[in-house]
Amino acid sequence: MQIGVDSQRAVENKRVFVIDSDEVSSMALQFMLADECETHVLPDVASALIKGRDWPPQLVLLGAGTIAEEGLSAISRLKAQHGGLKILIVCDSVDEAIVKEAIALGANAALPRPLKLETVRRKVDAQLGRRAALSIPVAVV
């Protein structure tokens, strides 16, 4: 099922890896992005590094829980293997210490929960260098 999909983006072939210990968030992100990106859910950074050898991603959505489990070195390992890789940290709050440290080490931005379709796609599009459609809110009186 495609929800508000731009057909140009559906054929662009941008690859996104979702690495999050929270399975509900991982599946939600895959569902939200599958129509516009080639989206792969992976259990850990090691699996992403292996898969990325043959199928390099343009963007990784990395859960703060995964960083807590595997360490902040996960970011440098991903960046070392994939030049130009963008990383979004999926978190509960952008004020979490681990999120701030991850951004200081090279992650590009944070994607806070609750995950909303528009917000997720807008943040992903920005990291992938896609132009956002101009929307002008119209008030109904």
Please compute, for residue 13, the number of CA atoms within 13 A of its CA located in the half-sphere on the CB side.
Answer: 2
> What whole-number distance in Å separates Cα of residue 57 and Cα of residue 40?
9
> What whole-number distance in Å separates Cα of residue 41 and Cα of residue 27?
8
Poorest-confidence range of 3-7, 34-38, 103-107, 127-131?
3-7
Global pTM reads: 0.85
CATH of segment(s) 8-127: 3.40.50.2300
pLDDT for 29: 98
Sign of CA dihedral 64, 82, 120, 122: positive
DSSP state, 94? T
Domains of the chain, by residue range, sit at 8-127
Express each pLDDT in 56-106 by its tens digit.
999 999 999 999 999 999 999 999 999 899 999 999 999 999 999 999 999
pLDDT for 141: 64
pLDDT for 136: 63
Q: Cβ atoms within 10 A of the Cβ of 43, count?
A: 13
Give the phi and the psi of residue 71 in degrees, each rounded to 5. Answer: 95, 160
